[in-house]
Amino acid sequence: MKTQVQPIPLTPTVAGSETRLIKSAALVTFRFVRATINAAKTVPGIVGQAASDVRDAWEESSRPNA
């Protein structure tokens, strides 16, 4: 009877690619969250400008046409 000795890997090769997939998904998620937070910081400025424009338009609409 002949036996053949084969090494058994201690870590499965699939685990490495799964880890990278999870890391990539987490990285994309975190970047999206950071971009959303940065975009939300500009909203007060946009709202303030819109309110100012509406106020100016309201004042101009009360003046007679010249």
Within the chain, residue ranges assigned H as helices are 13-62
d(CA 32, CA 17): 23
> What's the confidence (pLDDT) of residue 27?
93
Q: How far is CA 62 from CA 7, 12, 54, in A?
A: 88, 76, 13
> What's the confidence (pLDDT) of residue 12?
60
Reference 27, options 35, 38, 16, 39; nearest CA is 35
> What's the confidence (pLDDT) of residue 2?
79
0.85 exceeded by pTM: no
Tell me if residue 41 falls in helix, strand or coil: helix
d(CA 28, CA 11): 26
pLDDT (tens place) for every residue of the chain, 66 residues total: 678 888 877 766 555 566 689 889 999 999 999 999 988 888 888 888 999 999 999 999 988 875
